[in-house]
Amino acid sequence: MPRERILSGDDLPEPEPVQTAASPTGKLRDDEIALRPKHMNEMVGQRKVAERLGIAVDAARKRKEPLGHILLDGPPGLGKTTFATCIPRDLGVALQIASGAALAAPKDLLPYLTNAEEGSILFIDEIHRLPKAVEEFMYPAMEDFRVDITLGEGAGARTVNMKLRPFTVIGATTRSGLLSAPLRDRFQIREHLEFYSNAELTEIVGRNAAKLRVEIEDDAAGKIAHCSRGTPRIANNRLRWVRDYSTSRAGGHITLAIAEAALNMLGIDILGLDAQDRKYLETINRVFHGGPAGVEAIAHTMNAALDTLVDEVEPFLLRSELVVRTPRGRKLTARAYEHLGTAPPPDEPQLPLF
Ligand code: ADP
């Protein structure tokens, strides 16, 4: 049975119901739930996205109609799941959570569709991982709120048309480029989440320190924010680590010196990069002489998963202008050489920084 959980009722409880061990994404862990904003107006940053989604939610509520299907894309940890859990609370409708990777066949999706209450939300994380057959099964469900079910096999097979209650799909993906055009087109609202500014992350760290009941000085919150690769989930993880460090070594109060010592111990550098980020840059530099190098070859050499590099490592390095994508592969920029403290390979014209 693929159904992971249904949050019932118009008022989703606070704190959020505990996710089962069979969590589709493994992302709604208890500690994350404690820090996750409950309503869109508690979210920091992504103001334009939140404003547009807020208008759509408001209109749906006033018209008493289901919200249009929503596609959220962007690197991991930027708030896709948070939006998907805040929207049903703001709307006062039920939420079901599924993961594209766990929906192997149409029969896995069917219970979600038949369970969907009128106006409720079905959140499908990693929607780019839906197999083609499941994707095609979803088209009439999203468009006309019906599914075509084939009963029996061979010559005796017949198709039954089943009506569904109108509902809303919120799809999340780190790779919108992998989505087929017909699926993408079925989402009326498409939003891209951007990395957060240091000021926004500082605010998130400050608020979450209060939720975790730990005292933190402003410059220490700023330091953690600066070392969080523009990503709230990383900021939360760094904050938890600094809190542990300060509890163990320094009475629990987080000063700038404590935050710096704790982050140093994790190997976070001045740009907020971690060991894996640096290994990626060093591999291109050492093995591929600065590039261009194909990402598959880089992943192979690093003994890392291709998806991890593409989804988690590269987006921030690209945004930080440490790496560029060229038609022939990834290439280090002058800034990357400066950061690594090495000279660029000889006779290589340097890509200018814009
Ligand atoms: P994604 O689904 O994009 O991988 P999540 O929504 O799971 O990311 O976000 C990870 C964590 O980061 C959340 O648990 C939440 O604590 C925090 N977070 C994300 N977006 C925001 C935001 N806009 N404001 C405050 N905290 C946020």
Helix axes 106-115, 132-144, angle to 10 degrees: 20
pTM confidence score: 0.88
The rounded distance, in Å, linking the Cα atoms of 250 and 217 is 14
Nearest residue (by CA) to ligand 1, atom 19, is 79
**Stretch 229-239: mean pLDDT:** 96
Q: How far is the CA of 107 from the centre of ligand 1 (A)?
A: 31
The residues annotated with a catalytic role in the active site are 80-81, 125, 174, 233
pLDDT at position 103 is 97
**pLDDT recorded at residue 5:** 41
Residue pair 48/201 in contact (Cβ under 8 Å)? The answer is no
Best residue among 16, 36, 87 to mutate for probing ligand 1's pocket (most ligand atoms within 8 Å of CB) is: 36
| Contact (Cβ atoms closer than 8 angstroms) between residue 123 and residue 97 | yes
Q: Which residues form ligand 1's pocket by a CB distance below 6 Å?
A: 27, 32, 35-37, 43-46, 76-82, 172, 204, 232-233, 236
Is the pLDDT reported for residue 317 higher than 70?
A: yes
Residue 8 has pLDDT above 60, yes or no: no
**pLDDT bracket for residue 97 (50, 70, 90):** very high
Low-confidence winner among 44-48, 49-53, 178-182, 346-350 (lowest mean pLDDT): 346-350
CB 30 within 8 A of CB 167: no
Looking at the predicted structure, is the pLDDT value of residue 155 above 70?
yes
Distance of alpha carbon 4 from the chain centroid? 19
**Better pLDDT: 178 or 205:** 205
Q: Which of 82, 124, 176 to mutate to test the pocket of ligand 1 (most atoms within 8 A of CB)?
A: 82
Q: Please say if the pLDDT value at position 70 is more than 60.
A: yes
Comparing 1 with 205, which gets the higher pLDDT? 205
Tell me the Ramachandran region of residue 19: left when phi exceeds 0, alpha when psi lies from -120 to 50, beta otherwise.
beta
Q: How far is the CA of 79 from the centre of ligand 1 (A)?
A: 4
What the chain holds in terms of domains, given with CATH numbers, is 3-192 (3.40.50.300), 198-266 (1.10.8.60), 275-340 (1.10.10.10)
* pLDDT, position 17: 34
**Ligand 1: which atom is nearest the Cα of residue 231?**
12
Share above pLDDT 90 across residues of the chain, in percent, rounded to a whole number = 81
Atom in ligand 1 nearest the alpha carbon of residue 207: 25
Q: Which of 7-11, 18-22, 125-129, 161-165 has the lowest average pLDDT?
A: 18-22
CA of 77 to the centre of ligand 1 (A): 5
Find the 43 Cα to ligand 1 centroid distance in Å. 8
> Relative to the CA of 204, which ligand 1 atom is closest?
25
Mutate to test the pocket of ligand 1, among 25, 176, 233, 316 (most ligand atoms within 8 A of CB): 233
* 302 compared with 24, residue with greater pLDDT: 302
Q: Is the pLDDT of residue 251 over 90?
A: no
Task: For residue 28, give Cα distances in angstroms to 17, 25, 91, 126.
Answer: 10, 7, 20, 14
Which of ligand 1's atoms lies nearest the C-alpha of 50? 23
Of 196, 170, 190, nearest to 78 by C-alpha is: 196
Model confidence at 347: pLDDT above 90: no
Residue-wise pLDDT for 260-312, tens only, equals 999 999 999 999 999 999 999 999 999 999 999 999 999 999 999 999 999 99
- Mean pLDDT along residues 166-189: 95
CA 295 / ligand 1 centre spacing (Å): 27
Whether pLDDT at 23 is above 90: no
pLDDT grade for 18, boundaries at 50, 70 and 90: very low
* pLDDT the model gives residue 248: 95
Q: Give the model's confidence band at 259: pLDDT under 50 very low, under 70 low, under 90 confident, else very high.
A: very high
Collapsed DSSP state (helix, strand, coil) of residue 178: helix
On whether the CB atoms of residues 318 and 298 are closer than 8 A, the answer is: no
Please give the distance, rounded to the nearest whole angstrom, from the Cα atom of residue 231 to the centre of ligand 1.
8
Q: Is 24 helix (H, G, I), strand (E, B) or coil?
A: coil
